Amino acid sequence: MSDLVQKLTANLKHQLDVIYSGISLNRSTDQLADELIDRMNLDDVTQEPKPFTNHWDESDAVLISYGDSIERKNGYSVTEAPLKTLHSFVSGPLKAAFNAIHILPFYPYSSDDGFSVINYSVVNEALGDWHDIRRLSADFRLMSDLVINHCSSRSVWFDQFIKGESPGRDYFRTELPSTDLTKVVRPRTTPLLRETQTVQGVQHVWCTFSPDQVDLDFTNPDVLIEFVKIVRLYLDQGVRIFRLDAVAFLWKETGTACINLRQTHEIIRLLRTLVEHACHDAVIITETNIPNQENLTYFGNANEAHCIYNFSLPPLLVNTLVSGDSTHLKRWLMTMPPCQDGTAYFNFVASHDGIGLRPVEGLLSEKELNGLINTMMGFGGRVSMRTLDDGSTRPYEINIALFDALQGTHAGPDKWGVQRFIAAHVIMLALEGIPGIYIHSMLGTRNDYARFENTQHNRHINRHRWDLGELEAQLGDAQSTHAQVYNRLIAILAIRRQQRAFHPNATQFTLQLGPHIFGIWRQSIDRRQSIFCLNNVSDQTVELSLIDINLIDSVTWIDLLTGQAIPDHQATLSLPPYGSLWLSNA
């Protein structure tokens, strides 16, 4: 055994000792460490990860899509594997804008559009096969979900649990219904425990999200071994970014909130250790839709998640643009610590889910939150609820297509929808971090009421499936809002990826220019480029004095978004409703 493997083994043993402290195991943590190394094929590892290394730069941007967001159809029949159709589509103009793609769960599933996984080791045949996944990974840095907290009640593992057969019989978390679980944080309104008839009698299985999504029991180290094998498989198929879905709920202890527990954090650190030794530039992103300060803990000391979802950004940014006031967005941004090297924020405005509301707890008042919810409902949105420990319910997320969410202000719909929508992305793309854009934002997709009515699933309002022919017709029509959004965002992304000051770890300062202007200053790591990012977040023209920005007179300043030079550094500029400037010295 090489010195490096010995060091890795010792590190893994320490992490396993932390995770399984106080738990009686059927083998030692030394043996478990050896198993992990074997499952990850690290017996002859020759490269040690370098700490505080950034595996990203300003050219990075992630496109987020379901495998079947775009389908090639003949009538109602899909005529081509959707993953092939998606690959063909993203290989066009989008390839100049994105170098990474997140394919949402592409495995066989029983509910929740993929997040109730039946089999982690195969591709859903309705989407394609592993060849299609590898082809995408050859052209894009591939991001995949590791749905780690739970699996489907129709999985082989759960069938084994019911029948009392190995290995699944010991894979699931059960609890007595008499146990006091009132402290458990709930993201849904469904019962926490599911009554299940097994060969050993009635068992009550823990279900954080739904009765079909049965929680795995990581106090059994064999469950951890299974997921390490899955990680190795995904690496072999070309996955380089792992999104740990719902990972905050992973470890349960009665008498606690069963969220963000120390064992959960240590498991993430262990997975990072393994992934980085297997592939030096592989990245872990934690999906933790929780209050902002709790979310930040998932960086650890640059030894846990490489990236965390910036969950507070979408509700704050949408609130800013419908209210015309950037005060809360600026106040929050000033509290966000700069990321250490080796870590980065993952920024987004829209996702396949909804606009989460827990991340703005303590950031927006109850009145402001209710105002935002009411405005979104007026624009056709839906609201999903969660259960509190006293049995009452509270809004958990707003379900709405982003284009519809930004069609107006608190006063109602107006004529500035496209400009407001573009402004949201211009702001997000300028912020410290790696940007991710949902494919339906790139396409300006509207609320899908037909799909929602068919399924009565709130999130389906924002999970439209485009017919390729119809989509191409829309994108070929210059007057179409879909074409306007698509072409403009591609152009902005192409500009962004050329700017060193937009490196995810470049310096960022928040500017104080009044409530109607949201401004930040970015400076490249080598300090050679500065960009002042200035955005009118209101539906009124705003006068902006460049004296307030203090541009250096000896430097030529150019608006990157238009290519126009700014000849008078003390001029007053008129920013139209939702207008933006990226003023750069280079």
Over 80: is that where the pLDDT of 1 sits? no
| pLDDT tens digits for range 275-307 | 999 999 999 999 999 999 999 999 999 999 999
User: Is 214 in a helix, a strand, or coil?
Assistant: strand
Query: How many Cβ atoms from other residues are within 10 Å of residue 411's Cβ?
Result: 10
Would the annotation count 150 as a binding residue? yes
Nearest CA to 224 out of 32, 371, 489, 427 is that of 32
pLDDT band of residue 63 (cuts 50, 70, 90) is very high
Residues of the chain with CATH 2.60.40.1180: 507-584
* 518: β partners: 535
Over 90: is that where the pLDDT of 255 sits? yes
User: Is 1 in a helix, a strand, or coil?
Assistant: coil
Residues of the chain with CATH 3.90.400.10: 150-215
Answer yes or no: 34 catalytic: no
Would the annotation count 34 as a binding residue? no
Over 90: is that where the pLDDT of 554 sits? no
Pick the CATH number of 150-215 from 3.40.50.620, 1.10.260.40, 3.20.20.210, 3.90.400.10: 3.90.400.10
| pLDDT tens digits for range 131-183 | 999 999 999 999 999 999 999 999 999 999 999 999 999 999 999 999 999 99
Would the annotation count 316 as a binding residue? no
Cα 317 to Cα 543: distance, rounded to the nearest angstrom: 22
Over 80: is that where the pLDDT of 80 sits? yes
Query: Which string of b and e fits 327-356 if b means at least 16 CB within 10 Å?
Result: ebbbebbeebeebbebbbbbbbbbbbbbbb
Check: CATH 3.40.50.10320 for 507-584? Answer: no
The type of residue at 82 is P
Would the annotation count 245 as a binding residue? yes
Q: What is the pTM assigned to this prediction?
A: 0.97
Cα angle value 112/115/120 (rounded, 5°)? 140
As a whole number, mean pLDDT of residues 495-509 equals: 98
| Catalytic hit among 132, 245, 404, 539 | 245
